[in-house]
Chain A
Amino acid sequence: MQEAISIAPQLAASPIAEILWLIPAVPMAAAGLSALLKQSARKTSASLAIGSLSFSLLLSLIAFVHVLGNWMGGITTREVVNLTWIQFGTSNVDLGWVLDPLSAIMLVMVSFVGLLIFIYSIGYMKSDENYTRFFCFMSLFAGAMLGVVIANSLLLLFMCWEIVGLTSYLLIGFWYQKPSAAAAAKKAFLTTRIGDVFFLLGIVWLFAQTGTLLFYNGGSGSIEHAALAGLLSQPAAFGLSAAGAIALLIFAGAAGKSGQFPLHVWLPDAMEGPTPVSALIHAATMVAAGVYLIARVYPLMAAGALAGGTTTALTVVTWVGAFTAVFAALIAVAQNDIKRILAYSTVSQLGYMMAGLGMGGVAVGIFHLITHAFFKALLFLGAGSVIHGCHEEQNVRRMGGLKADMPLTFLTYAIGMLALCGFPLLFSGFWSKDGILEAAQHWSVAKTPFYMLVFGALLTAFYMTRQVAYVFFGHWRGGKPAHESPAVMLAPLGILAFFAITLGFIGTPAWPWFRAFLNGKAAGFDWHVLMERELMTLMGVSALVVFIGIGVAWSLYGDRSPKPTASDSLEKFAPTAWGWLSHKFYVDEFYGMTVIAFYAWWGRVSDWLDRRVWGGIVAGVAWAFSLAARLNRFLDTNVVDGGFDKGCEELTVGGGLLSRVQTGRVQTYLRILALAVVALAALLIWSSKA
Chain B
Amino acid sequence: MTPLAGYLLVAALLFSIGLAGALTRRNAILVLIGIELMLNAANLNLIAFWRYGPHPESLTGMMFAIFSIAVAAAEAAVGLGLVIQIHRHAKTTDLDAMNRMKG
Contact = CB atoms under 8 A, between A and B. Distances in A.
Contact of B31 (A663, A664, A667, A674): A667
A659 B96 CA distance: 17
Given A666-B95, A667-B31, A674 B102 contact: no
B23 A670 contact: yes
A667 B24 contact: yes
Nearest to A671: B23
B95 to A, nearest CB: 6
Interface in B44-71: none
Contact of A664 (B22, B24, B99): B99
A663 B23 contact: no
Contact of B23 (A659, A660, A664, A667): A667
A659 B103 contact: yes
Interface in B12-58: 19, 22-24, 28, 31
B74 interface: no
A233 interface: no
B46 to A, nearest CB: 18
A674 B95 contact: no
A407 B19 CA distance: 147
Interface string A647-679: 000000000000111111111001100100000
Contacts of A667: 22-24, 31, 95
A664 B95 contact: no
B1 interface: no
B19 A664 contact: no
Contact of B101 (A662, A670, A671): A662
A328 to B, nearest CB: 109
B98 A674 contact: no
A665 B99 contact: yes
A659 B102 CA distance: 8
A664 to B, nearest CB: 3
Contact of B95 (A659, A661, A662, A665): A665
B88 interface: no
Nearest to B97: A665
A523 to B, nearest CB: 127
A674 B101 contact: no
Given A670-B22, A671-B23, A674-B19, A664 B103 contact: yes
Contact of A662 (B22, B98, B102): B102
Contact of A661 (B19, B22, B99, B103): B103
Contacts of B22: 667, 670
B100 interface: yes
Contact of B98 (A659, A660, A661, A664): A664
A654 to B, nearest CB: 13
B21 to A, nearest CB: 10
A665 B102 CA distance: 7
B103 A666 contact: no
Nearest to A659: B103
Nearest to B99: A664
Nearest to B28: A666
Contacts of A674: 19, 23
A671 B98 CA distance: 16
A662 B103 contact: yes
Contacts of B99: 663-665
Nearest to B20: A674
A659 B31 CA distance: 24
B29 to A, nearest CB: 13
Contacts of A661: 103
Nearest to B102: A664
Interface string B77-102: 00000000000000000011011111
A664 B99 CA distance: 4
B43 to A, nearest CB: 18
A674 to B, nearest CB: 6
Interface in A10-53: none
Interface string A269-292: 000000000000000000000000
Contacts of B101: 662, 664
Contact of A665 (B19, B24, B98): B98
A661 B103 CA distance: 8
A664 B95 CA distance: 9
Interface of B: 19, 22-24, 28, 31, 95-96, 98-103
Given A665-B98, A666-B98, A671-B23, 19 more contacts: A659-B103, A660-B103, A662-B102, A662-B103, A663-B103, A664-B98, A664-B99, A664-B100, A664-B101, A664-B103, A665-B95, A665-B99, A665-B102, A666-B95, A667-B22, A667-B23, A667-B31, A670-B22, A670-B23
25 contacts: A661-B103, A662-B101, A662-B102, A662-B103, A663-B99, A663-B103, A664-B98, A664-B99, A664-B100, A664-B102, A664-B103, A665-B95, A665-B96, A665-B98, A665-B99, A665-B102, A666-B31, A666-B95, A667-B22, A667-B23, A667-B24, A670-B22, A670-B23, A671-B23, A674-B23
Interface of A: 659-667, 670-671, 674
- By Cβ-Cβ distance, the 6 closest A-B pairs, closest first, are A662-B103, A664-B99, A664-B102, A659-B103, A664-B101, A671-B23
